[in-house]
Structure 1
Amino acid sequence: MRVQMKTLIVAVSLAFTASTLAVTAAEAQQRRERVLVCKSTKKSRNKGTVIGGLTGGTLGAAVAGNGAKTEGAILGGVVGAVAGNQIAKKNSKKNCHYEYRYR
């Protein structure tokens, strides 16, 4: 009779432990996280690069003097392209929002 009682206690303890672990594992899988979601910035950055390069090249050629219009256009185009890319990158970050997702 004692052996049966010990067996019953061990079985109940194991069943309780297994059910507790199953509930804990299920809760861990349902954890919500706050995630920052942004739209792709590639199109807007490319557009900013092209517009900046064209504008910079035009202004560089207009400002350059003494027959250095080509060099001014090239330098202005490069500076304008970099500036346009960075400005578009900064402005496109405003299209981000937070979402809650399950892990």
Structure 2
Amino acid sequence: MRAHLKTLAVVVALGFTASTVAVTAAEAQTRTHKVWVCKSTKSARNKGTVIGAVGGGTLGAVVAGHGNKTEGALLGGALGAVAGNQIAKKNSKKKNCHYEYRRY
């Protein structure tokens, strides 16, 4: 009777071990990760750069003193292009980024 109980205990222990290994292997195959994904913002940034440059150049020419319209337009255009690019970059990242779950 004792030998029968020992055999039963060994079989039960082996069964639990085998099921644990199977669950661990299955879990390793279907492991998912949360990943931050962003679409390209290049198009939006280019559009923002152009709009900023035109707006800045126009404003720079209007604000510049007499005889300095060209310099004012160039300076305003450069500053407007940089500002437009950065504003478009920030706004487009808010709209084009999201989390995805991926399996590895």
Per the TM superposition, whether the score is higher than 0.5 is yes
Of residues 73-82 and 89-98 in structure 1, the stretch that sits farther from structure 2 once superposed is 89-98
Distance in structure 2 (CA, Å) of the matches to 1:46 and 1:25 = 48
Question: Which deviations, in whole Å up to 9, do the C-alpha atoms of 1:10-31 show, x marking residues without a partner?
Answer: xxx8xxx899767644422321
Gaps of 5+ in 2: 1-13
Encode CA deviations 1:50-92: one digit per residue, 9 max, x unaligned. Answer: 0000000000001000200110000000000000000000000
Aligned partners of 1:66, 1:32: CA distance in 2, in Å? 65
Partner in structure 1 of residue 102 of structure 2: 101
Query: In structure 2, what is the equivalent of residue 3 of structure 1?
Result: none
Partner secondary structure for residue 78 of structure 1: helix
Identity %: 76
Amino acid at match of 2:101: Y
Q: 1: distance between equivalents of 2:82 and 2:31? A: 42
- How far residue 37 of structure 1 moved from its aligned partner, in angstroms, is 1.6
Matches within 5 A, 1:12-51: 24-51=24-51
Over aligned residues, Cα RMSD in angstroms? 2.1
Is 1:90 the counterpart of 2:66? The answer is no
Q: What is the total number of aligned residue pairs between the two structures? A: 90
* Counterparts of 1:58 and 1:51, CA distance in 2: 11
DSSP-derived class of the 1:40 partner: coil
TM-score (norm: length of structure 2): 0.74
